Structure 1
Amino acid sequence: MTRSIRPDAVLVQAVIAGALSFAHLHDLAQAAGQTGWKAWAYPISVDLLMVAAWRRLRAQRSRLAWCWFLVALVASLGANVTTAGFLDLDHPPALLRLGVAGWPALAFLGGTLLAHAPNAPAPEPVPESAPVVDHPEPPAPAPEITEPEPAPALPAATVPSVPPALIDHARKVATDHRTRTGTEIDTATLRTRLGVPEDLAGAIAAQLA
């Protein structure tokens, strides 16, 4: 089963831009006096330094990686601008020759620093805290129920003493009342008939019962 190959516009654009930048770096190195294989090694060195700095940036956002990425970017961009007719490549200036001649040492320094730069320490794992066990608080002690103190006993009512003569009279009154009404005399009637206080009438009625 064959798969149809669909060219990616971004990939094609990257290949074209890389090829042009590579050619400009080669032409600049050749104009500065680097001939043969040395002229082809310059663009490879610039692109490799840029890739190494970019990979370091993806792993760790450090000033060192940013510095060397900008150095490689300036070298590549400078070659593209220089070969666009701003300089006479048949008679390059001494400063351009100096920059091209010193590039290998600069690129070697940058690649070495990027390769041996310490990585950022991995964050230490946060120790998991022991689960907090909610210990239920002991229930509050129930309030002690104090039994109410018994009310002081009331002093016993003193039974008034009834004279025997009054008892005899009261008995006659009760007999008369029974004869006329056919019922026993009550305390209120006895009190009225005798004309005595209520407590004394009660005491007499108790003795008549």
Structure 2
Amino acid sequence: MGRIRPDAVLVQAVIAGALSFAHLHDLAAAAGQDGWKAWAYPISVDLLLVAAWRRLRNDGPSRLAWCWFVIALVASLGANVATAGFLDLQHPPAWLRFGIAGWPALAFLGGTLLAHTRSAAEATDPAPRADVTPAPDPVPDSASASASATEPTATSHELDASLPVAVPPSEPPRPAPAPAPVPAALVAHARKVADEHRARTGEQIDTDTLRARLGVPPQLADSIAAQLT
């Protein structure tokens, strides 16, 4: 059984999170949010911060994710500074009460936008086409089948063997479909993923691995790979 080695970064993150959580609770309590409501504010701020950071990690940089990440970070840092003696928490100013009271609606708006706004990769994904079921071949009725069976067929001596057999012209090859347009931000993110894969494995990233890392459809992954080469 291996020895458990303490991680200094993890310990520091736990300490910073606990202090920030306590500062947000104290600030909300000073602004008139008592009981369980004061404990709900730090949870709301931390959840919005994590949701924005996860959107940045999974979908790449975007104005939406950066905007809400900065808002949650300012709320967390502002609570740390405000509880350090810069504000009189015994007599909190009106703007602080206003900001604390309006935070739940602001956090709900940010979480909804981060969860339900389509990313750049999803925006370029074409809508799925409806399956078209081919029409079944018409089935001849019994009267038509019996009539065709009784009709005399032409014998071989009635055919003129000297006539050349007509060969239908071959159809020209259909042009390949045009590649799907790829946003520049998505190409830049894919290039970072490819460089990271090459630095880690020493090999060029293949299309299947790139599609799995980006979470895009195969057609879009082929277009991105073509631009990376």
TM-score, L = length of structure 1:
0.59
Select the structure with the greater relative contact order (CA < 8 A; seq sep ≥ 6).
Answer: 2
| Residue 103 of structure 2 corresponds to residue 75 of structure 1 | no
Q: CA deviation at 1:81?
A: 0.3
The 1:85–1:128 alpha-carbon spacing in structure 2 relative to 1, beyond 3 Å, is closer
Larger Rg: 1
2:28 aligned residue: 29
User: Residue type of the partner of 1:42?
Assistant: Y
User: Residue type of the partner of 2:63?
Assistant: R
Secondary structure at the aligned position of 1:19 is classed as helix
Q: CA deviation at 1:124?
A: 4.6
Instruction: Return the alpha-carbon distance in structure 2 between the equivalents of residues 13 and 109 of structure 1.
Output: 31
Q: CA deviation at 1:29?
A: 0.2
* 1:37-89 Cα distance to aligned partner (Å, 9 max, x none): 10000000000000000000112211000000000000000000000000110
Instruction: Return the alpha-carbon distance in structure 1 between the equivalents of residues 18 and 225 of structure 2.
Output: 53
Q: CA deviation at 1:120?
A: 2.0
2:222 aligned residue: 125
The 1:9–1:127 alpha-carbon spacing in structure 2 relative to 1, beyond 3 Å, is closer
User: Residue type of the partner of 1:87?
Assistant: L
User: Residue type of the partner of 1:51?
Assistant: V
Identity fraction in percent: 78
| Number of residue-to-residue matches in the alignment | 128
Instruction: Return the alpha-carbon distance in structure 2 between the equivalents of residues 76 and 5 of structure 1.
Output: 32
* 1:90-136 Cα distance to aligned partner (Å, 9 max, x none): 1000000000000000000000000001022233524999xxxxxxx
User: Residue type of the partner of 1:70?
Assistant: V
User: Residue type of the partner of 1:114?
Assistant: L
Q: How well do the aligned residues superpose, as a CA RMSD in angstroms?
A: 1.8
Query: Runs of 5+ in structure 2 lacking a partner?
Result: 122-215
1:6 aligned residue: 5
The 1:4–1:125 alpha-carbon spacing in structure 2 relative to 1, beyond 3 Å, is same
Instruction: Return the alpha-carbon distance in structure 2 between the equivalents of residues 80 and 128 of structure 1.
Output: 46
- Runs (4+) off by over 3 Å: 126-129
Instruction: Return the alpha-carbon distance in structure 2 between the equivalents of residues 75 and 118 of structure 1.
Output: 26
Residue pairs, 1:55-74, within 5 angstroms: 55-60=54-59, 61-74=61-74
The 1:3–1:95 alpha-carbon spacing in structure 2 relative to 1, beyond 3 Å, is same
